[in-house]
């Protein structure tokens, strides 16, 4: 059986990654494909426990910057081996809300760790689970954070550790993503995330169709 495909959604806060991942899954399932959705950090029992530590300090203290990187990689390694690789090997498609590019963007470009070091750690964690397609939902940082504030108010949730960072940090992250898209044009496709949900979804589906379903 042919190996499945791995599609990841990336981008700054407030770009609508989870929403667009869900809409894409619906379109893929309409084509008769088995699709597995997952997210980072998380996707396994171990990963969800780590997610709590990373987002809300559930261990009772905030991780230092180096621990933050390694916790992301630990969650990722578990997700790849427990969920992603088994699904891909049986021919299922996997759609993931964030993956290793997030660590390069947030901890590399954002926190200031050497990008090459982040990429080496990512490679160790994922092995050959490299995305076939990465959709970058690009959005102005100010608008993205406004969307986050509206979402938090609607759900009566607090900002997590990353969302609470200064705008300067989030701008570094955005620029990091744009740099990654320039470095890896064969894998990245940038979609304007500043429009309404349906317009973004239409562009996402066009990208996926062009990459995987184009005739010839």
Using one digit for the tens of pLDDT, what is the confidence trace for 188-208?
999 999 999 999 999 999 999
What residues does 96 pair with on adjacent strands?
8, 38
List the domains of the chain with CATH numbers.
6-208 (3.40.50.300)
Written as six digits, the tokens of 28 are 């893929």
pLDDT in tens, 141-160: 988 888 888 887 766 566 68
Q: Find the mean pLDDT for residues 174-184.
A: 98
> What confidence score (pLDDT) does residue 157 get?
64
Please give the span between the terminal C-alpha atoms of the chain, in angstroms, as a whole number: 21
**Is the model's pTM score more than 0.85?**
yes
Give pLDDT tens digits for 101-122. Answer: 999 999 999 999 999 999 999 9
What is the overall mean pLDDT for the chain?
94
**More confident of the two residues 216 and 132:** 132
Per residue in 37-87, pLDDT (tens digit) is: 999 999 999 999 999 999 998 999 999 999 999 999 999 999 999 999 999
In 57-196, alpha helices (H): 65-79, 85-89, 100-103, 115-126, 141-155, 167-183
- Residue 161's pLDDT is 85
Reading the block at residue 105, the tokens are 């963007």
Q: How confident is the model at residue 163 (pLDDT cuts 50, 70, 90)?
A: confident
The C-alpha atoms of residue 172 and residue 165 are separated, in whole angstroms, by: 11
Contact 143, 195 (CB under 8 A): no
* Ranges 58-62, 92-96, 126-130, 188-192: which has the least confidence: 58-62
Question: Do the Cβ atoms of 17 and 97 come closer than 8 Å?
Answer: yes
Percent residues over pLDDT 90 in the chain: 85
Q: Which residues pair with 133 in a beta bridge?
A: 7
Contacts of 214 (CB under 8 A, 6+ apart): none
In this structure, the number of other CB atoms found within 10 A of the CB of residue 66 comes to 11
Q: What is the pLDDT of residue 216?
A: 46
């Amino acid at each position: 059986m042919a190996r499945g495909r791995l599609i990841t959604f990336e981008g700054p806060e407030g770009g609508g990654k989870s929403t667009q991942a869900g809409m894409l899954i619906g379109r893929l399932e309409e084509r008769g494909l088995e699709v597995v959705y997952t997210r980072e950090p998380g996707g396994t029992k171990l990963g969800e426990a780590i997610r709590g530590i990373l987002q809300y300090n559930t261990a009772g203290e905030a991780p230092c910057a180096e621990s933050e990187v390694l916790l992301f990689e630990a969650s990722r390694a578990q997700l790849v081996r427990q969920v992603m690789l088994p699904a891909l090997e049986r021919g299922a498609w996997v759609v993931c809300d964030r993956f290793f590019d997030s660590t390069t963007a947030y901890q590399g470009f954002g926190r200031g760790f050497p990008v090459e070091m982040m990429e080496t750690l990512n490679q160790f964690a994922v092995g050959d689970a490299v995305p076939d397609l990465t959709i970058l939902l690009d959005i102005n940082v100010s608008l993205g954070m406004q969307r986050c504030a509206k979402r938090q108010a609607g759900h009566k949730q607090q900002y997590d550790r990353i969302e609470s960072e200064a705008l300067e940090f989030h701008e570094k992250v955005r620029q990091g993503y744009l740099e990654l898209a320039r470095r890896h044009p064969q894998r990245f496709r940038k979609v304007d995330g500043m429009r309404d949900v349906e317009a973004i979804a239409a562009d996402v589906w066009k990208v996926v169709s062009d990459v995987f379903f184009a005739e010839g």
